[in-house]
Amino acid sequence: MRSEDEKKRIREDIHKALDLVLDINGLEMRKKECSGDLPTAFFRFDGHTASVDVHVYMSGWSLASNSEGGVCWHLERMGKILDWLEATKKALGN
């Protein structure tokens, strides 16, 4: 069982990760047909495995495109997810 302090830290890290995804993606729809080559970021929390899955399509998303990068880790590794997102955001110049 996680301590209350650990739960609080993990929740804060999840919020930071979602903020970084929103910094990369923005709040508008991001499909190549609509936004061209703008990066498209995906964020998913999987409650059944207590993990976070993040993917970024650096030059836009379409059914035919492949993610140029992504991470999926259990909540104990949120620091790694944040590091990856920060590096990705920096690489995009955001």
pLDDT band at 1 (very low <50, low <70, confident <90, very high): confident
The count of structural domains within the chain is 1
Three-state DSSP class for residue 70: strand
Return the H-helix or E-strand segment holding 55: strand 51-57
Dist CA 23 CA 17 (whole Å): 10
Global pTM value: 0.88
- Mean pLDDT computed over 26-48: 90
Q: Give me the residues paired with residue 57 across strands.
A: 40
Whether pLDDT at 48 is above 90: yes
Q: Which domain holds residue 60?
A: 4-92
pLDDT band at 89 (very low <50, low <70, confident <90, very high): very high
Check residue 67 and give its pLDDT. 67
Q: Who's near 9: CB < 8 A, 6+ residues apart?
A: none
Nearest to 2 by CA among 76, 77, 74: 76
